[in-house]
């Protein structure tokens, strides 16, 4: 989840003005029927899964396999005056290759055949990027990366593209691959900005082995330099394959025309395949891979079901597949359960979950959970002691795709062409991470009135009446997850997102109304910071000291963890709802700068996150756990309240009387209470040794409760109970 700010204003520029009509080349040349078949494809169908009205749905029919995105930027300040699109500006006379029919002669096919070089994923370092000029540091060549997002301010260090100086007559952006590389294609976008329109509309491509001698990409038939059509809006990813792949070390993009009133600004990704270096003239490129025998590819809905079934068949004794509901389009929300006794809650065994795919275009979390279930199965069969202990001491639930409708849209576009936002929303246009009930506001209002916890509980807050109405705007995916939360006594969870490298923890919503960001900790802030630090501290990418920020914030300065509300406010988040409506402690993990990494990068992403995923699950052992029983019958007491002195947030027992209370090391006074029973308080010490620390309770029924039960059973009241009741009446008199 990239930080889309509080939805107070949606920005969607009206693009394409002054750029000609569909079916016309960017240079105003009318293509013939023959050329039209080669360079034009129908615009992608607008899908109902896109966000509500107000988002641009512009398409162009002159480019091949154009990918449309929908951009939503929200600001909390007065918007500056926008510069509206105008006619094109030409950098210099363009030697355009024209077919006999008068149309641009483009490659016959537009299908990527090489993976991305790594501008978006940051595998290409800042010092590998160079440019003829830059308007400012924040618009330098290091910002010319596909899908990079700007900050709120123009002119800061984190702008949304590379932009050449206005007086630069021959601008260029250069990438050093550092090794002989087979370049096969270019993907471009315009500038990401809420203040300006800037995009390049055509460009040339040149190559070099020494950065001094250059040659261009030429047309097959005429031999002249190719001029490639580029963008007609800021956010659509436009792919151009080279007429002939070129082997070189350096590649340059030379903008030829761009929007009048704007500047030569672009974001790019380079499609490139490595080539052999038998003489060892160049340093060996770092290997991206994993030794685990797993299925490293992207899985659509059908392939995901097939893979989950294969894991279940391979490990039938420790796995169970079940569905918690359906999406708006009827796709099932499948969960893989993994435990030594799947299908049942074992007394004293905690329940944990991972959820991915809340935003359908953030695909890495989905693949990591599919890889995790394969890994756990494989390692359990091998007898790995760590995995065996995980599966025997807890019950793990993996939901790889909470928004399958959105994912299918993103999957069809492809990892490099889906853009930044397409597929994020559900089929109904709902952002699921803003769709859970806001329980923060009623809790905080009750706290301000001094009603918590005596009148209003500090835990398990009920759903607001408006949220339960038949016409409430609640997605079926959200309702399914809420019912899932109610059925299973989850203790620990993580919500996997993409688009950044950071771990955020509740609260996600600011306490001050309408504040865009504000530190808003929970009563369990120490626990949440511990959990977040555990994941971030074991994540290879987050711990890389040389990595650069993804977009506009350097989270490494804060240990790669942040309070969600202090980043940007998110009303109705799943994390806050989980904490206030259930016993479950949940954090959000932003896994990668690239929301939808290429399949070739999945092995490395797995290695980056494998230990983090396992170590985080093990944190369910942190704190205290036990069973609250009836002293007379030894039966467990359901819904007993476990309160810790000094922490204004309680948890409750499951139906068997068992409970788990996550706590950091220290000494605590813990009270167990239940309706009809006398409360019991005892001291519990949490140490740094692996727990959880046993902290059991036996509660005695109150005389009033015993009397109720006896009368309900038609029995006579025992003499001792009668005497106690008489004494109680006398005390009242």
Does residue 95 contact residue 36 with C-beta atoms inside 8 Å?
Answer: no
d(CA 601, CA 636): 49
**Which token pair is 513?**
């109304």
Pairing of strands 162-163, 214-216: unpaired
3-state secondary structure of 133: coil
**Which token pair is 640?**
């007993």
Chain Cα centroid distance, residue 486 = 24
3-state secondary structure of 723: helix
- Cβ neighbors of 639 (< 8 A, separation 6 or more) are 652, 653, 674
- Mind spelling out the 3-state secondary structure of 148-193? CCCCCCCCCCCCCCEECCCCCCCCCEEEEEEEEEEEEEEEEECCCC
680 exposure class (CB count in 10 Å sphere: 0-12, 13-18, 19+): middle
Query: Is there a catalytic annotation at residue 590?
Result: yes
Cis check: omega of the bond before 55, within 30 degrees of 0: no
Cite the beta strand spans of 593-694 per DSSP E: 624-630, 641-644, 647-652, 658-661, 666-673, 680-686, 693-694
Cite the beta strand spans of 506-597 per DSSP E: 561-563, 585-592
d(CA 577, CA 90): 53
Q: Which of 235, 586, 590, 605 is catalytic?
A: 590
Nearest to 423 by CA among 675, 67, 92, 60: 67
**Catalytic residue positions, numbered:** 590
């Amino acid at each position: 989840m990239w930080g889309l700010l509080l939805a107070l204003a949606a920005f969607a520029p009206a693009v394409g003005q002054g750029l000609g009509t569909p079916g016309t080349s960017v240079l105003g040349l009318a293509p013939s029927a023959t050329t039209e078949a080669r360079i034009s494809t129908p615009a992608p169908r607008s899908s109902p899964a896109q966000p509500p009205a107000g988002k641009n749905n512009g398409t162009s029919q002159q480019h091949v396999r154009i990918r449309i995105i929908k951009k939503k930027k929200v600001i909390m300040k007065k918007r500056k005056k926008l510069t509206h699109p105008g006619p094109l500006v030409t950098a210099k006379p363009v030697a355009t290759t024209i077919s006999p029919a008068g149309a641009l002669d483009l490659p016959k096919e537009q299908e990527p055949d090489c993976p991305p070089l790594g501008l978006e994923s940051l595998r290409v370092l800042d010092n590998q990027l160079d440019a003829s000029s830059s308007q400012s540091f924040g618009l330098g060549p290091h910002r010319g990366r596909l899908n990079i997002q700007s900050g709120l301010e123009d002119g800061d260090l984190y702008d949304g593209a590379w932009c050449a100086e206005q007086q630069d007559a021959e601008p260029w952006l250069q990438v050093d691959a550092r090794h002989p590389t087979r370049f096969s294609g270019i993907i471009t976008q315009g500038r990401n900005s809420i203040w300006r329109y800037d995009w390049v509309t055509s460009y040339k491509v040149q190559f070099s082995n020494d950065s001094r001698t250059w040659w261009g990409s030429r047309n097959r038939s005429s031999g002249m330099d190719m001029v490639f059509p580029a963008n007609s809006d800021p956010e659509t990813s436009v792919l151009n394959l080279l007429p002939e792949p070129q082997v070189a070390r350096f590649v340059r993009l030379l903008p030829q025309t761009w929007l009048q009133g704007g500047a030569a600004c672009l974001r790019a990704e380079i499609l490139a395949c490595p080539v052999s270096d038998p003489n060892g003239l160049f340093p060996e490129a770092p290997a991206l891979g994993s030794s685990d025998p797993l299925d490293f590819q992207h899985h659509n809905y059908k392939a995901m079901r097939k893979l989950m079934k294969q894991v279940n068949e391979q490990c039938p004794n420790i796995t169970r597949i079940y569905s918690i509901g359906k999406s708006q389009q009827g796709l099932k929300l499948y969960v893989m359960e993994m435990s030594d006794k799947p299908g049942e809650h074992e007394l004293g065994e905690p329940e944990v979950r991972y959820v991915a795919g809340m935003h359908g275009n953030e695909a890495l979390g989905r693949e990591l959970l599919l890889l995790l279930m394969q890994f756990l199965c494989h390692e359990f069969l091998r007898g790995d002691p760590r995995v065996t202990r995980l599966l025997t001491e807890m019950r793990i639930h993996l939901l790889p795709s909470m928004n399958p409708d959105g994912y299918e849209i993103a999957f069809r576009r492809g990892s490099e062409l889906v853009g930044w936002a397409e597929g994020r929303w559900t089929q109904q246009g709902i952002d699921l991470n803003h769709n859970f009930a806001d329980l923060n506001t009623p809790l905080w209002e009750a706290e301000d009135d001094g009603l918590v916890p005596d009148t209003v509980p500090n835990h398990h807050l009920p759903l607001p009446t408006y949220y339960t109405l038949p016409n409430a705007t609640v997605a079926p995916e959200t309702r399914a997850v809420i019912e899932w939360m109610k059925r299973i006594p989850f203790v620990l969870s993580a919500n996997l997102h993409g688009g950044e490298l950071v771990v955020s923890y509740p609260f996600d919503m600011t306490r001050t109304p309408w504040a865009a960001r504000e530190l808003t900790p929970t009563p369990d802030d120490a626990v949440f910071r511990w959990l977040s630090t555990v994941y971030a501290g074991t994540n290879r990418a987050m711990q890389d000291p040389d990595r650069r920020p993804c977009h506009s914030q350097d989270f490494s300065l804060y240990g790669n963890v942040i309070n969600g509300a202090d980043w940007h406010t998110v009303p109705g988040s799943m994390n806050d709802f989980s904490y206030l409506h259930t016993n479950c402690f949940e954090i959000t993990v932003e896994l990668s700068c690239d929301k939808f990494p290429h399949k070739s990068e999945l092995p490395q992403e797995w290695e980056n996150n494998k230990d983090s995923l396992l170590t985080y699950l093990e944190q369910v052992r942190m704190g205290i756990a036990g069973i609250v029983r009836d002293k007379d019958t030894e039966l467990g007491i359901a819904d007993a309240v476990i309160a810790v002195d000094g922490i204004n947030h309680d948890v409750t027992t499951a139906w068997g009387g068992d409970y788990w209370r996550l706590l950091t090391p220290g000494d605590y006074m813990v009270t167990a209470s239940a309706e009809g029973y006398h409360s019991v308080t005892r001291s519990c010490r949490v140490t740094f040794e692996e727990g959880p620390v046993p902290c059991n309770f036996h509660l005695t029924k109150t005389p009033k409760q015993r009397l109720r039960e006896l009368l309900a059973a038609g029995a006579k009241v025992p003499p001792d109970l009668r005497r106690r009741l008489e004494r109680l009446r006398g005390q009242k008199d």
